[in-house]
Chains A and B, each alone.
Chain A
Amino acid sequence: MSAPLLSVEGLRVGFRAADGGMVEAVRGVDFAIAPGEAVGIVGESGSGKSLSMLAVMRLLGPPARATGGRVLFDGEDLLAADEARMRALRGRDIAMVFQDPQSSLNPALTIGRQITDVVRAHRQVSRSEARRIAAEALERVGIPAAATRLGAYPHEFSGGMRQRALIAMAVACRPRLLIADEPTTALDVTVQAQIVDLIAELRRDLGIAVIFISHNLQLVSEIVDRVVVMYGGKVVEDGPVADIELRARHPYTRLLRSCVPSLSGPVGPLVAIEGAPPRLGRMPPGCPFSPRCPQAVETCAAEMPALLREGRRSLACWRPQ
């Protein structure tokens, strides 16, 4: 296997609590992504998936901050890099697309201006050359008559078009890594399908590595090579998408897959995961899923299982299935 593009090792993110102590939301996360690979990070709200990515981009603001671990991008530790270096990397080498296309665009500037600003921040090109690049990026994300749309304002675009424009902005400088944080959650289902297809297409055509964050396992499974499942601030399972979907070993992964109904098969009561995800600062000492796990034994509640690698898969569970 080639050297990873991004390697996250023992990443921890904490919040400063009202009483002055630290509450950990990301509690030692490990995963790596190879150049050109597409990885899905799946977890529910509070699993720490978005916080981990903000930590990678060094976009955490108070009261949250990275409290430990390393984030190696091409061998360089981003957590130790200075702000100037991060500004150079963000947008040029690593780009991010967020959940809400509405609030990610500046309503007062044209789409074209916002894309050319990003291009000119990272590349020494003339204004007209930047506009040409912007038009090309819009064309690539499937906005028809792109050159004529550069003068449009965000409110003139539909939600799906805005998300396309944001993706255009993200890929305009040909980054090596694109982080998409729930990019389709705010969109209608038919538009969601188009955006997912678009990301898969860009990845294939441009060779960009993609991290796709979602709460929906079925959705990411359509386009990624590998899935990382997070729960309670920890990685609980990591493996090739077919293994995760068909031969998951962690009880949480299995339940997560079966509690979402499909359009085929018999109709009946859904498989429910009882209880609720652990709340921040009230993590059980052992496996975070143990209070809800039907397989749990005493050890599960008492001691956190380590994330053990086995071939191309990793698993943190005392009672794998």
Chain B
Amino acid sequence: MNRFGPALRAIDWTGWLGAAIVATILLAAIFAPLVAPYDPVALSIEDRLSAPDAAHWLGTDQAGRDVFSRIVFGARASLAVGIGAVLIGALLGVSAGLFAAYEGGLGEQIVMRIVDGIAAIPLLVWAIAIVGILGVGPLPLGPFLLPNEVKIVILVGCLFSPVFARVTYAVAKRVVGADYVKARYLQGASHWQIVTGDILPNCLSPVIVQATLLVAIGIVIEASISFVGLGVQPPQPSWGSMLSDARNAIYSGEWWLPVFPGLAISITVIGFNLLGDAVRELFDPRSEARTLVA
């Protein structure tokens, strides 16, 4: 994509730092069995609560499990919820936003008012309330049994969809009025052709920017749900449940138990935010990086 060439050069070091963080964590999560030195769920009573040393880089927890290995495997839950929820949210939200903007009239009003309704309650409150009501067990859905993790991904995805719907709607509303869309209509192009071929591609940049930023929020939501015990169930590791387990350690001096999962969450969130800002720069034709390229 040579048209991004000059803009890529204009991305500053914070953008590259964000990309590097995200890439490292993604690779660590995908190749967790190769990266983690220990089995994240293997108990080892004799090693319990050992401070960081050469054998256990980030120490061990109350059950003697390696904290570093648990963080590496915990990244899977965090990223799965973050990325999975964003994909589901984008699919639902972008479709709803496109429909509302293109359809207009009553359909537009109904869709956008539903979106407003969902968006009126803070994400985290929704998430915890609904998981709390449904419980942590698998949810039967027709012939399928949804494990708790999948349930959470779908739930957070649904909660993300209003954000995507609004972003898409705002841009699509403008694109729908553009003369090139009218021209396609006058040529007899089908609604599907117009929406997917002309409107959607011109709405994607803000959606992608939003997606990068929402991954970070998804990670925080997963951590929060797991922290209150409604998310990833023991003994499987998750950053949120590791923090929750470490609550008592704050007073008894095992500082490595809360600090490292906390750092993992913070660094990942910062990484996605930095990446999101860089992507915004890349796509926004008004940003300084691109002003003089055209």
Q: Which residues of A contact B (CB under 8 A)?
A: 15-19, 23, 63
Contact = CB atoms under 8 A, between A and B. Distances in A.
A17 B293 CA distance: 8
Interface in B244-294: 288-293
Nearest to A16: B292
A227 B291 CA distance: 32
A63 B10 CA distance: 15
Interface residues of B, number: 9
A6 B248 CA distance: 78
A243 B293 CA distance: 41
Contacts of A15: 292
Given A17-B292, A19-B6, A23-B292, 8 more contacts: A15-B292, A16-B292, A18-B6, A18-B9, A18-B289, A18-B291, A18-B292, A63-B292
A63 B293 CA distance: 13
Contacts of B291: 18, 63
A17 B10 CA distance: 12
A19 B9 CA distance: 9
Nearest to B291: A63
14 contacts: A15-B292, A16-B292, A17-B292, A18-B6, A18-B10, A18-B289, A18-B290, A18-B291, A18-B292, A18-B293, A23-B292, A63-B288, A63-B291, A63-B292
Q: Which of A18, A19, A23, A63 has the most CB of B within 10 A?
A: A18
Contacts of A17: 292
A18 B288 CA distance: 9
Which 8 pairs of residues, A with B, have the shortest CB-CB distance?
A18-B292, A17-B292, A18-B6, A18-B293, A15-B292, A18-B10, A63-B291, A63-B292
B136 to A, nearest CB: 52
A23 B293 CA distance: 12
Nearest to B293: A18
A89 B9 CA distance: 41
A23 B292 CA distance: 10
A15 B289 CA distance: 13
A63 to B, nearest CB: 7
B22 to A, nearest CB: 26
Contacts of B289: 18
B282 to A, nearest CB: 13
A16 B6 CA distance: 14
A90 B58 CA distance: 65
Contacts of A18: 6, 9-10, 289-293
A40 B191 CA distance: 50
Nearest to A23: B292
Nearest to A279: B294
Interface in B132-186: none
A116 to B, nearest CB: 35
B89 to A, nearest CB: 34
A68 B34 CA distance: 63
A15 B10 CA distance: 16
A15 B288 CA distance: 12
B99 to A, nearest CB: 32
A16 B288 CA distance: 11
A18 B293 CA distance: 7
Contacts of A16: 292
Nearest to B289: A18
A224 B293 CA distance: 38
Contacts of B293: 18
A61 to B, nearest CB: 12
A23 B291 CA distance: 13
